[in-house]
A and B are shown apart, each in its own frame.
Chain A
Amino acid sequence: MTTRTIQPATVKKTLVVKASQAKCFKVFTDGIDRWWPKTHTVGETPLKRAVIEPREGGRWYGVSEAGVEDPWGDVLAWQPPARLVLAWRINGRFKPDAAVHTEVEVVFVDLGDGTTRVEFEHRGLENLGEGGDAARAAMDGGWSLILGQFQTAAEEP
C-alpha cells in the first residue's frame, strides 16, 4: 500500500529589512537572542537565552532561567551571508522532540541599496503530528494574547 503524506502548506514570509545582507545574517544567527520572543518557551522556566551555533551541524537551543538547555534543532546549512537552514524539532506542545523534523530556511538577498530581502519558509509541517510526545494538548489560548502584546512591543518606534 502506498501512503501519501498529508501536506499542510509551507509557511512563507518575505520581508525587506533596512540593513545589509551581512548584518541581517548576523542578527538572525549570532544575534538571535536579541530578537527571539522570550515570552514563551519550551522549557519549564522562562527563556533566558537563545543560541544558534555558527556552523553546519551546530545546535540550536534555548537556555532557561534555571540554566537548563532545551534543544530546538540543529543547523542543516550554514552559508553566510546568504542562506541558513535549521531543523526545527519542536512538537505541537512546544516541547523538544528529536523525532520531529521540520525545516526553517532563511535566504537573505542583497537588494543593492543597503536593504535586504529576507525570504523565510517553515516547511515539513505535516511532521508536527508525529513523534511520541508530539500530540497531546498544545499551547493554550494565552498564546495569542502574549503574541499580541509582543507584536505591540516589537513595533514600537
Chain B
Amino acid sequence: MTNALRKDVAFAALADPTRRQVFERLADGPRAVGELAEGLPVSRPAVSQHLKVLKEAGLVIDRPEGARRVYQIDPQGLGQIRAWLDRFWDAALAAFAAEAERPDDDADETGEDAPR
C-alpha cells in the first residue's frame, strides 16, 4: 500500500466513534479483545471487527499472548498523517522564505505591499 493510500485508510478507520473509542482505550496500554469490550456498548465480535479495521489501517498491531491475542497501538499509524503535514510545511515554508528574501520592488523594510 502506498503511504498516501495508507493515510487515507487511517483517517477512514478513525471516523467511526466506537472504533475511535476502541483505539483510545488502547492508548492506555495493550489489551485483549475481552478487556476492550468491557464497558463498551457493543458486543465482543463487534470489537473484534473494529480491531480488524484498525489493524488493516495500520493503526494497531497484535500479537499472541498465550491463548489470547493482545492488541496495541502501532506508533507508526498516526505517523503517516504527521509525515504528510511535515512535507507540506517544508514546501510551504520554503516558499515563504523565498518570498521574504525577495528584494522589494520599491522597497522598504516593513515590506509594504508592492504592486503585483
Contact = CB atoms under 8 A, between A and B. Distances in A.
Q: Do A and B come from one complex?
A: yes
Contacts of A135: 11-15
A72 to B, nearest CB: 12
A137 B8 contact: yes
Given A92-B81, A125-B81, A155-B98, A134 B89 contact: no
Grouping DSSP codes into helix (H, G, I), strand (E, B) and loop, the B interface class, with mixed when no group exceeds half, is helix
A137 B99 CA distance: 33
Contacts of A9: 79, 82
B101 interface: yes
Interface string B78-109: 11011011111111111111111100000001
B4 A141 contact: yes
A139 B84 contact: yes
A36 B100 CA distance: 12
Contacts, number: 152
Contacts of A23: 100, 109-111
Contact of B12 (A1, A5, A136): A136
Interface in B1-55: 2, 4-5, 7-15, 20, 23-25, 27-28, 39
Contacts of B87: 144, 147
Interface of B: 2, 4-5, 7-15, 20, 23-25, 27-28, 39, 73, 78-79, 81-82, 84-101, 109-111, 113, 116
27 contacts: A6-B23, A11-B86, A17-B101, A18-B100, A18-B101, A19-B101, A22-B109, A23-B109, A26-B110, A27-B99, A30-B111, A31-B99, A35-B95, A35-B100, A91-B11, A125-B85, A128-B11, A129-B78, A135-B14, A137-B8, A137-B12, A138-B4, A138-B81, A139-B4, A147-B87, A147-B88, A154-B98
A122 interface: yes
The 7 closest A-B pairs by CB, nearest first: A135-B15, A129-B14, A35-B99, A92-B11, A137-B8, A141-B4, A35-B95
A3 B29 CA distance: 11
Contact of B85 (A11, A18, A35, A37): A11
Interface string A9-22: 10101010111101
A5 B27 CA distance: 7
A69 interface: no
A8 interface: yes
A118 interface: yes
Interface in A104-121: 116, 118, 120
A129 B111 contact: no
Given A26-B110, A31-B111, A122-B89, A15 B97 contact: yes
